[in-house]
Structure 1
């Protein structure tokens, strides 16, 4: 997953957290974007925030992905060896 696309001119903080059983990516769009839509299609995460759409591929080796957004923070939880 390319986190740089989220930290560019818009300045959203993006982080990667590695654990023994997987990886978590978190992108803070801010509380005003709490109504963002998120979808997972095959190995692509699609996020629609207002009129902006972001798409990114999950990394190779991601066995299972869980995505959600709460209080404007997008979280992508990946299981498996990455």
Structure 2
């Protein structure tokens, strides 16, 4: 599973994007730093993330099975 281009472009200063490969799949983790709350809405193959005053919209990568948030971090897992 590849990191969406739109998420790679927010990987700067207060946002950290990491792609972790495990034997049984891949996890993409996006830490929005100072954002107290983040929300994600999935419509079809598109995810819309709102973190503080920032909004990011991207196509879900092939193989994505779960998209969730926890403590200011977005995770996409296969």
TM-score, normalised via structure 2 length: 0.75
Residue ranges of structure 2 left out of the alignment (5+ in a row): none
Choose which of 34, 49, 52 in structure 2 pairs with 1:50: 52
Q: Which has the larger radius of gyration?
A: 1
Structure 1: 5+ residue runs without aligned partners? Answer: none
> Contact (CA 8 Å) 2:27, 2:75: kept in 1 or not?
yes
| Structure 2 match to 1:65 | 65
CA RMSD, aligned part only? 1.8
Question: How many residues are treated as equivalent by the alignment?
Answer: 74
| 8 Å Cα contact 1:34/1:69 also seen in 2 | no
Normalized against structure 1, the TM-score is what?
0.72
Runs of 4+ in 1 over 3 A off after TM superposition: none
2:65 is paired with a residue whose SS is strand
Match of 1:34 among 26, 33, 36: 36
